[in-house]
């Protein structure tokens, strides 16, 4: 729980349900939900954030903070403070193919104060944002709060019920936001259905040790392309973050062959990491990302809005999921902060959030789909050690298009800003 004073509660003894009230109830303490709660609390809205886990320290789900997010944090005076947390920086991948090495893009060419992907443990990032949010009196955080019911009145959602260690609780709210991720319970309860596409790959994530005296990778990221597999390495403070990309549906086959087969394939693709890969001994060291991509045709209904993965699951190409969830949060705070303070949010205002965020989501998903179909799929289908695809060579050579992918990855098709800062409010 945060240090903020509790909102008024009233016990309904017959049902043994504790009832609380708030302006906005945010379900899900991932990057999108936490950022929205912080921005609304900062704007003077009473906001309650519900997270089903007991803490933020859980399975790996990506640690990438892009320039877009850092610029927003800078606007609210938090970027410098975030840099005090142990981190590394990635400016672009060095890709090793059978016939040579290529760096398809470099974020250092972008015009921004933060021309890099800031790598920080997601748990530390979420703790950082919630501790900042707790400085505002309207913020309340409930961990171990598993939302399982929407409260509806007169055709509008008016809050949620959730299971807490001390029993069922109810939060009544002007607006409920489902920021509860790719398997969103709020989305299911609201009857909002996503349209899914299935990218051609899955990814295993794991850690590899750093060995004494080894050189750093200058751009912070390495990709090795081999026979139907891609091996990724990201520089972290005291370990390497490894990724192993393989064709969708082959996970069981891979498991049947044993960890040894993964070690062997890493060694084939990038022999200099053979020794590191010896640390992989058990499947428990891996996190499987079953790659999915989806988008809800409708993100809202009266009294309810979906943001982040709940509204659209992004493929991992470009590592944009966290940052898109955060951009949704910023736009939602821009559009809904005022109405929430006045105690009423209209359907038109909820639709406006979707209108502003849907097209950037469509654009980036189209970009990801192109990369998956034209570049990644051809590598994964190949039985040969891969050569540099012509599309990548072209990309690296033509100045006009060279900066498009890094700009898309860094910001999406349009930079998202906190609007109050622009007007000097
Ligand atoms: C293995 C893996 C690796 C990834 N790597 C990257 C990466 O490198 N870069 C990147 O940008 N993206 C990455 N992603 C995607 C990224 O994690 C998501 O896009 C991003 O976290 C979406 O943020 P969100 O806030 O919408 O949802 P989430 O981060 O999924 O947060 C949802 C939160 O809601 C909580 N919740 C769920 N149900 C309930 C409930 N009923 N009641 C209360 N709380 C609930 C969950 O516990 C969770 O904390 C990765 C994903 C996976 C699975």
The pLDDT tens digits of the residues spanning 155-180 come to 999 999 999 999 999 999 999 999 99
Instruction: Indicate the pLDDT class of residue 215, thresholds 50, 70 and 90.
Output: low
Tell which one of 27, 38, 180 to mutate to probe ligand 1, the residue whose CB is within 8 A of the most ligand atoms.
180
Paired with 230 in beta bridges are 225, 245
Cβ-proximal residues to 9 (8 Å cutoff; 6+ apart), any chain: 18, 19, 20
Express as a percent the part of the chain with pLDDT over 90: 64
Q: Is the CB of 117 under 6 A from ligand 1?
A: no
Right CATH number for 9-197+292-422 from 3.40.50.720, 3.30.450.40, 3.50.50.60, 3.40.50.150? Answer: 3.50.50.60
In degrees and rounded to multiples of 5, residue 46 shows phi and psi of -75, 120
**Token pair recorded at residue 212:** 């004494």
Domain span(s) for CATH 3.50.50.60 in the chain: 9-197+292-422
Closest listed residue to residue 246, CA positions, set 223, 226, 221, 229? 229
Residue ranges of the alpha helices (H) in 270-311? 274-277
Q: How many CB atoms lie within 10 A of CB 425?
A: 8
Q: By three-state DSSP, how is residue 75 classified? A: helix
Instruction: Indicate the pLDDT class of residue 16, thresholds 50, 70 and 90.
Output: low
Residue 135 pLDDT > 90? yes
Q: Whose CA is nearest to atom 31 of ligand 1?
A: 30
Instruction: Indicate the pLDDT class of residue 1, thresholds 50, 70 and 90.
Output: very low
Domain span(s) for CATH 3.30.70 in the chain: 201-247+249-289
Q: Ligand 1: distance of its center to the CA of 323 in Å?
A: 11
Residue 58 pLDDT > 60? yes
Q: Ligand 1: distance of its center to the CA of 424 in Å?
A: 33
Place of tokens 């009423």: 344
Place of tokens 């990801």: 368
Residue 5 pLDDT > 60? no
The helix (H) or strand (E) run that includes residue 261 is: helix 259-269
Q: Ligand 1: distance of its center to the CA of 310 in Å?
A: 9
The topology (CATH level 3) of 201-247+249-289 is: Alpha-Beta Plaits (3.30.70)
Q: Ligand 1: distance of its center to the CA of 255 in Å?
A: 25
- The DSSP code for 376 is I
Residue 63 pLDDT > 80? yes
Q: Is the CB of 81 under 6 A from ligand 1?
A: no
Cα gap 417→68, rounded to integer Å: 9
What's the predicted TM-score (pTM) here?
Answer: 0.89
Cβ-proximal residues to 186 (8 Å cutoff; 6+ apart), any chain: 27, 28, 147, 150, 160, 176, 178, 180, 304, 306, 310
Q: How many CA atoms lie within 13 A of 228 on its CB side?
A: 9
pLDDT at residue number 15: 56
Tell which one of 181, 286, 293 to mutate to probe ligand 1, the residue whose CB is within 8 A of the most ligand atoms.
181
Q: Is the CB of 314 under 6 A from ligand 1?
A: yes
Q: What is the pLDDT of residues 89-116, one digit of tens each?
A: 998 888 888 778 888 788 998 999 999 9
Tell which one of 176, 322, 327 to mutate to probe ligand 1, the residue whose CB is within 8 A of the most ligand atoms.
322
Q: What is the pLDDT of residues 371-401, one digit of tens each?
A: 777 777 777 776 666 778 777 788 777 877 7
Q: Is the CB of 52 under 6 A from ligand 1?
A: yes
Tell which one of 39, 62, 163 to mutate to probe ligand 1, the residue whose CB is within 8 A of the most ligand atoms.
62
**Token pair recorded at residue 34:** 């936490």
Q: Is the CB of 179 under 6 A from ligand 1?
A: yes
């Amino acid at each position: 729980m945060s240090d903020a004073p509790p909102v008024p509660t009233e016990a309904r003894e017959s049902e043994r349900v504790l009832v609380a009230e708030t302006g906005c109830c945010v379900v899900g303490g991932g990057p999108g939900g936490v950022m929205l709660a912080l921005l609304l609390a900062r704007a003077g809205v009473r906001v309650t954030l519900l997270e089903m886990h007991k803490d933020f320290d859980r399975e790996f789900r990506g640690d990438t903070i892009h320039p877009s997010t850092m610029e927003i944090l800078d606007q609210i005076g938090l970027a410098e403070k975030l840099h005090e947390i142990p981190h590394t920086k990635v400016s672009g991948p060095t890709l090793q193919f059978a016939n040579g090495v290529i760096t398809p893009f470099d974020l250092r060419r972008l015009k921004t104060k933060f021309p890099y992907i800031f790598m920080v443990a997601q748990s530390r990032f979420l703790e950082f944002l919630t501790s900042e949010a707790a400085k505002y009196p309207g913020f309340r955080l409930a961990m171990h709060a598993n939302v399982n019911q929407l409260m509806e009145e007169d055709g509008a959602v008016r809050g949620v019920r959730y299971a807490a260690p001390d029993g069922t609780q109810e939060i009544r709210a002007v607006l409920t936001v489902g920021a509860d991720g790719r398997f969103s319970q709020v989305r299911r309860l609201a009857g909002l259905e996503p349209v899914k596409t299935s990218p051609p790959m899955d990814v295993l994530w794991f850690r590899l040790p750093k060995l004494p005296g080894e050189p750093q990778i200058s751009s912070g990221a390495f990709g090795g392309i081999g026979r139907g597999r891609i091996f990724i390495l990201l520089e972290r403070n005291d370990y390497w973050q490894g990724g192993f990309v393989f064709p969708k549906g082959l996970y069981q086959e891979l498991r049947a062959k044993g960890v040894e087969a993964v070690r062997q394939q890493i060694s084939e693709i990038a022999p200099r990491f053979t020794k590191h890969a010896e640390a992989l001994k058990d499947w428990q060291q891996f996190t499987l990302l079953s790659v999915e991509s989806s988008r809800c045709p409708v993100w809202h209904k009266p009294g309810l809005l979906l943001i982040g993965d709940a509204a659209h699951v992004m493929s991992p190409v470009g590592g944009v999921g966290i940052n898109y969830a955060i951009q949704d949060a910023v736009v939602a705070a821009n559009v809904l902060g005022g109405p929430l303070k006045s105690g009423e949010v209209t359907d038109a205002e909820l639709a406006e959030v979707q209108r502003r965020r849907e097209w950037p989501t469509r654009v980036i998903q189209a970009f990801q789909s192109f990369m998956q179909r034209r570049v990644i799929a051809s590598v994964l289908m190949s039985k040969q050690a891969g050569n540099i695809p012509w599309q990548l060579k072209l990309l690296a050579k033509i100045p006009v298009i060279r900066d498009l992918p890094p700009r898309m990855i860094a910001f999406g098709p349009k930079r998202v800003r906190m609007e109050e800062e622009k007007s000097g409010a």
